[in-house]
Each structure stands twice: as structure tokens, then as C-alpha cells.
Structure 1
Amino acid sequence: MKRYELIIIGAGPAGLSAAIEAAKSGMEVIVFDENARPGGQLFKQIHKFFGSKEHRAKVRGFKIGEELLAEAKELGVKVVLNAIVMGIFREKEITVMIDDAVSHFKGDQIIVATGASENMVTFKGWTLPGVIGAGAAQTMMNLHGIKPGEKVLMLGSGNVGLVVSYQLKQAGCEVVAIIDAAPKVGGYGVHAAKVARLGVPFYLSHTIIEAEGEECVKGVVIGEVDNKWNIIPGTEKHFEVDTICLAVGLSPMSQLLNAAGCEMEESPRKGGGVPICNKYGETSIDGIFAAGDVSGIEEASSAMIEGRMAGAAVSKAAGYMEEDLFKERYSQLSGALDQLRQGMFGPENKGKDLKYTDEGIELSTSLLKKGYIGEGEIEQFPGVTVNVKGIHPVIECTQNIPCNPCQDACVKHCIKIGSNITSLPVVDKEVECTGCGMCVASCSGQAIFLVNETYEEGYATVTIPYEFLPLPNKGDMGIALDRSGIEVCEAEVLEVRSAKPMDHTKLLTMKVPTDMAMKARFIKMKGAC
């Protein structure tokens, strides 16, 4: 039986982060993962992360994964793939199936970072080929370059459903609708808005009645639900689709911890059955820790911090980290984690029907019900500037979410958020904007635009974030779409800019009539579907 100072189960964001933290202190670390490649969910996350610099904000998930793997390798962490951990015992022994052979390992400490699995819902026809999880769709697109389908209906308006819907559009799929049984959008408003302006409609208080087809999905019928979740007769709607994508939440994969005898609890707020842990992530069994989604569903940024906290805790327990150094490190990490748990979407606000931002501004009802901010609502937010001479940023970030890259991106410091990472961004109208566009490119929610209402007589320019292929060329003509995805006017492409710091987010500047400057938010090229 091979012995290691630290055994980690799961090579996702939490597991790799824990391995790095422990290896830095000098521990001998081995990581087992059942998959053929490490990195967990990170390698199919092509969008930019939220948070601050210390949370890896404005960096795409797969790049974070590459950095974690490189750092773990440099520190001598051993990662064993295609390794299925079959059981954990109280003596901190594990059995692992590797290449059809069962091996035994003993760890002085164990960190379980097995992540979560996708939830499913049942309806007539739910077993037909073509009904898939949103995570499966991401895997097909972003890891294997395969379109999940041509016409897709998305069930679920949480962050996963919204992000994957956008990525489906990037892959060339038609997203016919996003539906949700809940009466309001569940994810970040900026994620909903970037999908809505592509023309994707939202049907809230709706659910799937039936998937149609004999051998595969050919269509879907949805219906509106009342406040008791019953279908309202006469509200049925039919869509021709070949794919139904389900983004209905995640459940912690905590079976190993339960089997090991850890004290468990059923927590709907955390996603299901989770181990009871202390503030360091240690379970009821000394020396067995849990980190990431296995101990409660959160974003990948939180999972990485939890992994580092567990890695520091085991280092201290093993004598590799002095008490004072551990307290300092734990304070840094817990502070970073607390930042991510603030704001409207923080744990303390789950289930609450919030009406106002922290600043006392009434939340956009249109955003919550339709996925986009209403025209009469937009100007009340402090990042939205109008009737300014010359080029200026318009920040359509209207919810208190933990994110501040725009503040750091502005070299003139005309964008201010302050020390509270969830505060709404404010534009200082007294500071002249250079038009560099770094704020547009850095915004993880694609909620910043550059507007110049005085470009030339009768015309304005709008610079938008653009992440679609093929890229248009200067002089190409298209149709400008408003926040709801409705065509509003013709638009001419003046410029498409790119730079390495923009990390594949292009800045497309379009020329529109002056009265469309505060309406045009996307461009559909002529001839495109």
C-alpha cells in the first residue's frame, strides 16, 4: 500500500487549487481523477470570470485551468487520471480502480473535491436523444467542437443556462427560447441581457410539457404554470427544435464522504446532501476535508478559494505551515471568499424578492421578467451616461454582483466602484474618456459600451463587445438590434479592433443614426441567419 502525505480526489478547480497550496508548503501530494483529462469544468468555460484580480476576474475559465495545471506540475504534484476512487475508510485509506486494477493508498490527510453532477427533470419524451444537460452541451461545443443541435430550447435561466445559451449562439446554433418555471430570471442580469440582445426570447413561469419525436427530438411543447406549478390550460406553445438543453441546477457528488461515515446534512441552499464541515473545510472525521461544489454549489471562483483554504489547513495540520502564517493565509483567503458571497446573489439573499439595489435604485422589472432592461429604466443607473460630448462609456450593469475589472481597466480612472466589490459602477463625467475600449473588453458581463452621439451630423457611433465569427470588415453593412433583440436601424461597421490584453474580445464600432445611440446594442450582419 502506497502512502502519501496528502491525497486529493478530484482534479477540478478546487482539487488543483488545494494541491498547489499544499505542495507550496512542501507536502507530497497526489491527485486522483476519474476523467481522461484534468481541470474539471474549467476547460469548457470559455467565458470570462467575475470578481477581482485575486479571483482571476476577466480571465477565461480554460486559461485558468491551464495555469493551475502548469503550476501543479511545476510543484511536483502527481496527477493520476482515469482513476476511479471507489471508497474511503476512516483510517484515511482509499481504493482506486486504475486500468481495471484496484489499488490501495493511504493518506495522512485527504481532501475530497469531487464537484457536482447535473440535475435532470422528467417530462413526456425526456429520454429521447436530443434531451441533454447544459454541461454536456458545453462539453460538446467547447472541448470537442461539435454543435449539440441546430435549433435548441434552453430550460433554466440561472447562470449556467444563460452562459450556455450564449455559447450555443457562438457555436452557430439557434436558441429558440429560454424558459423557466420561476417567475423571474435566476442568473446575473448581464448574462441575460447579452442573450436577449441576440434576439433570444424568455418565457418565464413556463415549463416543458412534452418533447416530441419518435426516435429523436423533433419539437417541444411548453406551457405556462400558475403559482402552484400547475400548467395553465390554453397556454401551450410549440417550437420546432432538435435539442432540448436542461440547466436545472447541480447536486454535490458527496457519496464518497457519506460512505466514509462523515456527518452529513440535507441542505437545499447548498444543493442537496453535503458534509458538515468546520470553517477550514474539515469534516467530522479528522483529516478528511471537503472543498468546492461537493460541500455546497457555488461558482468556480469560490471553489478555487475553498480548495486553497483546505490546502493551507492540511499543511498546517501536517506541520508544514506555522500557526501565524496559517492565520494570515486563512484571513486572506476567507476575505476573498467573503467578497464573492456578497451582493444580490449571495447566500444570504437566496430566495429573497429584492426590489432595490444596495444604492436604493429600483431594480429593472423588465430585466427580471424579459431578460433585458427597459428603455425607460436604463438612465437611472449611475454607469449610464447620456448627452455627453464626444466618446463616453455607458455601463449597463444594474445589479450588485461581485465584479470590478472595469475600474482597473480605465487608465483615466473615470470608472469607479470603490472598495465594495458589489457596488454599481459609476462614471465620472468630469474625466475625459480616451476611447481605448479596455473597459469594454474587460467587462465579464459584456455590459459596457462606448457611445459617441456627436460623431458627425446626424450619426453616432456605438462600440460593442463582439465574440462571434466570422468577423465583419470595415464598411460592411448590418442591422442594429436593441436590448430586446429587435431590429431598429441599418448600421455600418467602421472598425473592428483587437489586442492581446482584450483576450479575444473584439471591439466592433458601428455607425447608426444619432437617435439610435442609446438603443443599438448589437449588430446582425446582412445575410446572416
Structure 2
Amino acid sequence: MTGLRIEQHPILPIPEREEIQIFWQGQPIRAFVGETISAALFASGIRVFGHHPKDGSPQGIFCANGQCSQCMVLADQKPVKSCMELVQPGMQVEPLNGLPELPKVSQPPKVQPIEEIEVDVLILGGGPAGLSAGSELGKLGIPTLLIDDKHRLGGKLVLQTHRFFGSSSAVYAGTRGIDIATRLENDLRQYPSVQIWLQSTALAVFSDQKVGVLRNGSQYVLVKPKVILVATGAREKFLAFKGNTLPGVYGAGAFQTLVNRDLVRPAENLFIVGGGNVGLIAGYHALQANINVVGLVEALPECGGYKVHKDKLVRMGVPIYTSHTVLSANGQDYVESVTIAQVDEKFQPIPGTEKSFACDSLLIAVGLDPVNEFFIKAKQYGIPVFAGGDAEEIAEASAAMFSGKIKGREIALQLGRKAPPVPAEWYRTGEILKSKPGETFSEHLPEASVGVVPVIHCTQEIPCNPCAALCPNGLIFVDDHDIRKVPEFLGNNYCCQLCEQCVAGCPGLAITLVDYRSNADFPLVSIPYEFTRDSIRQRDSVTVLDTQGNPLGDLEVLSVHQIKRSDRTLIVQVQAPKEYAKKIAGLRIQDQKVTEPLDEYVTELHNDTIICRCERVTVGEIRELIRKGVRDINEIKTVTRAGMGACGSKTCNSLIHRLFREEGITNSEVVDNTKRPLFMEVPIGVFAGESPSEDKST
């Protein structure tokens, strides 16, 4: 590890990249061609990108997805979102502390006619739903334009290093997200009828049924489609607590972007808020990047994500505090600690249960909201429009892939093209993939203690079946009609041959093998391991844990190996006493000391909690207006400026609605804020047709 850049990873390749130099406040720093400004700043240890002009509060990255404005900087005198803008050699980057001074111009910029194009289908978003829909349309030769605001396709798939759940036959289950992104992109690019615009953002849907698009970040184009597919994904929900805007408080997507896309370690010691799949998976990704996970809090009595995701963290030494909430992120210029507390049945903190933990980063993963404003506006203006993936319904990426496939076929039929109707089985598969976790069963260890015994530590009904396809002898059974059923080992009539494919290939790392053949009293146990090869060696002493995270014993590593079809998963073998060999589910990865609370809990000294990040509007200011009888969020905006910032109320609007509910005001009594005609910020010159070759800082 050199500095904060990741130079070794168990799953991700470390590419050779061209090094360049940029300048931060006049000082040179390293950067690589193709990375964002925010990645280069983080890699140099810079976490504070500026200070808010209202109260001088430090500003840093939050979403890393272009949805907020926390990471704004001046790059060569232009205000830009550092998470979206790529570095250029010699780029001069400065903090943005308020509005920049406009440069003087000697003559007006040259303008050009605004290009207008027509297309049968416009797809907004190049994630799993958009790519799958594009391929379905491409097979039928339907002229399609797909736009995405990133510099590569795949959406959140490019951040996912783990194997995916779902159906092996329908949605690449058992394949890593990063590899699925490549497969979907390669599939799409083989169809000449599909045109792709990267680094291009949809800005608005207009009443003349045209869509304004900022192409390549500089050219304004009007697109008139016959049909629109909104596959724009979701944005992360914000959470109100003291210190919630300190640099070091990230959305889960921002953290995964920095770690898995930019190969930068944004933290040494991470604390996670939220026990859904997003938070649980992000914790595992942090451990793979050699980042300590101090703990995770979930307000509900149980984590909402898949139990196998939770079990992975627990058996690697991460404590999970259910029925707990975050009280504050503490620090002066960045996060230095977090304070949590237990909650009662009404989710109110219980006095006397406060605990604080030393950490430098706090990851917020408390749910997602659909990015559906384009869908709503297109319907309002009478444009035939479909929504797919998270823009339609929040679910897993596997469900988004299949949703896109269905929408592609439905759009073809909407256009009157010759296409087969959508099979009823597709809709059924789509519903299964979107389903929430079902019943959880008590772990039942197999009784047999002879030969080779697979132990399946998967006890929750979730849509997943790769293990059944992995066993060459068909010894693992998952009901094809309903892949949500818990896997069964059919070992009464057959014999496991210790090929270890199920161990290496289970997406939840939830299968171990216990081999009694050489020593029935001290059998060999094969355990999946997805960390760097040099982090564990033969003869090392390791602590083995059960699915609840309970330590079972310290054992010597007999071997570390990899099978042919492992896809970067190692297998660690230990010899364990027969009394607990079947209970072994994983190895402790991190030192327990990093998870211990501080001797005394830390009280955050800030007076109030921020609701509007852009305008620094507090809970107290908004609550006071509600108690005075205000029921119109537009009035709150007028008085406080809440929702008037650069993000266009994307992060604060849902929190304001929550304050109304906390004050006993129903949604029917509240007038929502008026949406801006533009959904994303854009330099005003592009609407005049300003030439891309001209200086756009005016």
C-alpha cells in the first residue's frame, strides 16, 4: 500500500495507468488519467474540499453520484462536481467556498444551432435495467439511444465485487457484479441499431415531448423519442443526526465508488448505519480493501438484508447492533468518532445505553428512493414511457436486469414491432427476483459424520440457486419452480467427491465441507476465503467462528488453495475437533480491538441537526415553522431556503416530509415543493448553443 491507493485486492485487478499531475491550492498532487478529481484528492489524503459560506462548515464528498453538491470544487476556474469531473494534466483545483467570481469576457461566446434528433426509443440509464432493455431492443433492430452520465456503462454493477444471487439461467447468478457489467455491455454493443452516449445527462422532459440532454458534458441536444425507458436507478436516502454533514459521512454508493471503482481507501476504520443488503455488502467490500469495520447499527430488531450477507460480516468479526441507532458523528473538520444508542419499540433512543466508537468514516445505508422524476414528467406530457429497475421498484440488481429485459420486449410491442409477447413465466421470474427475504430457519447441521459432508449455512428463503448448478453430481437441490427455497443436500444416496465447487462458488460464502475420511475425530474443514493471498499462509493460526460470530477455537491453517472454477475465491483448510467442525462457518478477519467502544461516550456539541445540506438549514428551523401551522413545503423553502440548493432538494425533501410525520401531520395535509423544470444543474450557456470549443466558465 502506497499512501491511500489500493495496490492489491483479492478480486479487482490493479490496472497500469498513466500518471499525471494536477494542483490542489497550488500544490502538485498525483493523479491518473481517467479518474475523477475526488478520487485524486482522496488518494492524497484530502477530505475537506471547501467550506460552506453560510457557517464555514467543512464540505466533502457524500454521494459520489452527481446527485448532491457536497463535493463542488473550482477546476480551472469552473465550478464542477469533483465526483463526476475527470482530471486533466495540469488542472488547477481550488476549494469552492460560495459562489465563484465570474471571469471578465472581452466578447460574447460563439453559439451554434441546437441539434435536434429523433429516435424510436430513448433509454435513460446504462445500469443493469437499461443495458438489458437495450439488448432486447437491439435484437429486434429498433433504433435506440441509450445515455448515461458516467464514463463507463454498468451503473452500480461496476462497484460490486461479490457474486450475485438470483437465477443462474436468467440473470447470471453466481457471477460477480463487475463481470456482469462487462457481459451486458459487450452484449449491447453488438447491435448496430443501439447508439450509446456516455458522460451525457438528461436534464429535463419538455411539454413538446422532447428531452434535453447534455452530451459529453458540453453539447446541448434535444431528443424526440417515440418511447422513453427510465432506467435511472435510485438515490440514497439521507439521515438526520448531529454531525451528519461532516466530511467522512458518506452514502454507501460513494464509499463503494471510491474503493471498488477508484481503488482508493477512503477510511481506516469504518462504522456503518443500516442493515439492508447495501450496508452489509459495503461492509464486506471494506474488509476486502483492508479497512476495519468497527461495527454496524440497524434500528430494526433484525437486519433487513439477506442473512447470508449479515452472517459473512459477523463471522469475520464485525459486531452488529440491532435495535440501535446513530446519535451523532463527532469531530471538528471530519469524523473522529460515532455515538450510538439502543432504541425502544418506538425507535426512540434509550438514555443510558449510549456508546461511542473511534472511527474516521461513517457509511449511511438507510434505503433508496427511485430516481423517477423523468418518468413522472414524461407521463404528464403524454410521452409513452416505461420505468425499469430501481426507477420502477427498489430491488436487487438481478431483478433490475430481468426487469429491463421485460421492458425492452414491452416497448417493442408498444411500437407495433413484430415481437413475441412477453411470456407469463418472465413476469413470474421477475416477481421472484424482486421478492424480499422469506422465512428464516434454525440452522440444522447434518447428522452424518462419515465421508465428506457439505454443511450449508444458508437458512433463509431468498431467490438464489447457483449452488444447485455447481455440484457436478447434483447433490444440492433448489426447487427450480421457486428458487427462494433453502438448498438441500441430497447426500443419503450419493457421495460427495470433495471437488469444492460449492464452497468456492456460493454467492453467500455459506457452504463448508467437512472431510472425515482420514481422521474421524479431527476432520478437515474447507472454508471459502475472499481476501488477498498473502494475508493468510500455511501454518498460520486462525480463529474459526460459527454463523453467529461466536469463536469456536484457534486452529492451524493446513493449506490455502484455489480450484480451477473458483473465480478468485480461495479455500482455506483447517483440521478441527469433531465436536465443532460442522459449526465452522468462517474465519475472523480483523482484530477485535478495533470494535471495542471508547471508555466514555462522546456528546456532539453542535446545536442542531442539518436537514438541507446545500443551504445548511436545521431541524429546529423547519420544525418551528411546522408548529406555527405551515403545511406547504414551498413556504418553508421561501423562509429558510431549504430545497433551494444545487441538488434541487434531492436529499432534503424526504426528510422534511418525515418531520411533518413526526409532528403528527399526515401526507394529505402537506403541499409538496414545486419541482424544478431542470432535474440537474447545467451551465446556462449550453442552452444558447455555446460552442463546446469555447470557454464555458461564463
In the superposition, the TM-score normalised over structure 1's length comes to 0.85
Question: Distance between the aligned counterparts of 1:107 and 1:513, measured in 2?
Answer: 67
Secondary structure class of the residue paired with 1:387: coil
Shift of 1:344: 3.5
Change (3 A) 1:16 1:424: same
Is 472-481 or 158-167 further displaced after alignment? 472-481
Counterparts of residues 385-396 of structure 1 (less than 5 Å): 385-396=446-457
Runs of 4 or more above 6 Å deviation: 525-529
Question: Distance between the aligned counterparts of 1:470 and 1:501, measured in 2?
Answer: 17
Which of 501, 504, 510 aligns to 1:438? It is: 501
Which of 303, 317, 325 aligns to 2:414? It is: 317
Which of 164, 187, 201 aligns to 1:84? It is: 201
Counterparts of residues 69-468 of structure 1 (less than 5 Å): 69-76=185-192, 77-89=194-206, 91-98=208-215, 99-262=217-380, 285=382, 287-322=384-419, 325=420, 327=421, 329-342=422-435, 344-345=437-438, 357=439, 363=440, 377-379=442-444, 384-419=445-480, 420-430=482-492, 431-453=494-516, 455-456=518-519, 458-468=521-531
Question: Distance between the aligned counterparts of 1:80 and 1:525, measured in 2?
Answer: 42
Change (3 A) 1:233 1:489: same
Aligned residue identity for 2:567: D
Question: Distance between the aligned counterparts of 2:400 and 2:351, measured in 1?
Answer: 43
Which of 581, 593, 617 aligns to 1:517? It is: 581
Secondary structure class of the residue paired with 1:38: coil
Question: Distance between the aligned counterparts of 1:321 and 1:449, measured in 2?
Answer: 49
Question: Is this contact kept in 2: 1:440–1:446, CA < 8 A?
Answer: yes
**CA RMSD, 1 decimal:** 2.1
Change (3 A) 1:343 1:212: closer
Secondary structure class of the residue paired with 2:576: strand
Question: Is this contact kept in 1: 2:306–2:437, CA < 8 A?
Answer: no
Aligned residue identity for 1:81: L
Secondary structure class of the residue paired with 1:43: helix
Question: Distance between the aligned counterparts of 2:547 and 2:332, measured in 1?
Answer: 38
Question: Is this contact kept in 1: 2:511–2:585, CA < 8 A?
Answer: no
Question: Distance between the aligned counterparts of 2:560 and 2:314, measured in 1?
Answer: 22
Question: Is this contact kept in 2: 1:462–1:521, CA < 8 A?
Answer: no
Question: Distance between the aligned counterparts of 2:200 and 2:376, measured in 1?
Answer: 20
Aligned residue identity for 1:391: V
Question: Is this contact kept in 1: 2:523–2:575, CA < 8 A?
Answer: yes
Question: Is this contact kept in 2: 1:156–1:248, CA < 8 A?
Answer: yes
Percent of residue pairs bearing the same amino acid type: 36
Residue 267 of structure 1 aligns with which residue? none
Change (3 A) 1:415 1:161: same
Residue 101 of structure 2 aligns with which residue? none
Question: Distance between the aligned counterparts of 1:305 and 1:294, measured in 2?
Answer: 14
Aligned residue identity for 1:386: E
Question: Distance between the aligned counterparts of 1:474 and 1:212, measured in 2?
Answer: 42
Shift of 1:485: 3.3
Shift of 1:499: 3.4
The reply to whether residue 497 of structure 1 matches residue 556 of structure 2 is: no
Q: Which deviations, in whole Å up to 9, do the C-alpha atoms of 1:64-120 show, x marking residues without a partner? A: 110111111111221111212111235542111123332111112211111110111
Question: Distance between the aligned counterparts of 2:432 and 2:275, measured in 1?
Answer: 24
Shift of 1:343: 6.4
Residue 157 of structure 2 aligns with which residue? 42
Q: Which deviations, in whole Å up to 9, do the C-alpha atoms of 1:201-222 show, x marking residues without a partner? A: 1111111111111111111111
Question: Is this contact kept in 2: 1:90–1:261, CA < 8 A?
Answer: no
Counterparts of residues 62-73 of structure 1 (less than 5 Å): 62-73=178-189
Question: Distance between the aligned counterparts of 2:301 and 2:589, measured in 1?
Answer: 33
Aligned residue identity for 1:95: G
Question: Is this contact kept in 2: 1:417–1:424, CA < 8 A?
Answer: yes
Larger-Rg structure = 2
Question: Distance between the aligned counterparts of 2:580 and 2:245, measured in 1?
Answer: 46
Secondary structure class of the residue paired with 1:378: coil
Question: Distance between the aligned counterparts of 1:203 and 1:2, measured in 2?
Answer: 54
Report the number of matched residues: 472
Aligned residue identity for 2:508: G
Question: Is this contact kept in 2: 1:312–1:330, CA < 8 A?
Answer: no
Question: Distance between the aligned counterparts of 2:483 and 2:571, measured in 1?
Answer: 25
Aligned residue identity for 2:240: T
Residue 53 of structure 2 aligns with which residue? none
The reply to whether residue 61 of structure 1 matches residue 177 of structure 2 is: yes
Question: Is this contact kept in 1: 2:203–2:213, CA < 8 A?
Answer: yes
Shift of 1:332: 4.2
Question: Distance between the aligned counterparts of 2:443 and 2:403, measured in 1?
Answer: 37
The reply to whether residue 25 of structure 1 matches residue 140 of structure 2 is: yes
Secondary structure class of the residue paired with 2:525: strand
Question: Distance between the aligned counterparts of 2:455 and 2:267, measured in 1?
Answer: 35
Shift of 1:238: 0.9
Aligned residue identity for 1:438: Q
Is 330-339 or 217-226 further displaced after alignment? 330-339
Q: Which deviations, in whole Å up to 9, do the C-alpha atoms of 1:431-486 show, x marking residues without a partner? A: 11001111112211111110124542641211111101134333333332333434
Question: Distance between the aligned counterparts of 2:250 and 2:549, measured in 1?
Answer: 26
- Structure 2 residue runs without a partner (length 5+): 1-115, 594-698
Change (3 A) 1:94 1:205: same
Q: Which has the larger share of strand? A: 1
Question: Is this contact kept in 2: 1:48–1:60, CA < 8 A?
Answer: yes
Question: Is this contact kept in 2: 1:92–1:288, CA < 8 A?
Answer: no
Question: Distance between the aligned counterparts of 1:451 and 1:337, measured in 2?
Answer: 36
Question: Is this contact kept in 2: 1:490–1:512, CA < 8 A?
Answer: no
Secondary structure class of the residue paired with 1:402: coil
Question: Is this contact kept in 2: 1:390–1:453, CA < 8 A?
Answer: yes
Is 35-44 or 311-320 further displaced after alignment? 311-320
Secondary structure class of the residue paired with 2:326: strand
Change (3 A) 1:40 1:527: closer
Question: Distance between the aligned counterparts of 2:577 and 2:122, measured in 1?
Answer: 62
Residue 4 of structure 1 aligns with which residue? 119
- Structure 1 residue runs without a partner (length 5+): 263-283, 346-356, 358-362, 365-376
Residue 129 of structure 2 aligns with which residue? 14
Question: Distance between the aligned counterparts of 1:387 and 1:71, measured in 2?
Answer: 46
Question: Distance between the aligned counterparts of 1:332 and 1:45, measured in 2?
Answer: 28
Question: Distance between the aligned counterparts of 2:208 and 2:418, measured in 1?
Answer: 23
Residue 600 of structure 2 aligns with which residue? none
Aligned residue identity for 1:255: E
Shift of 1:335: 2.9
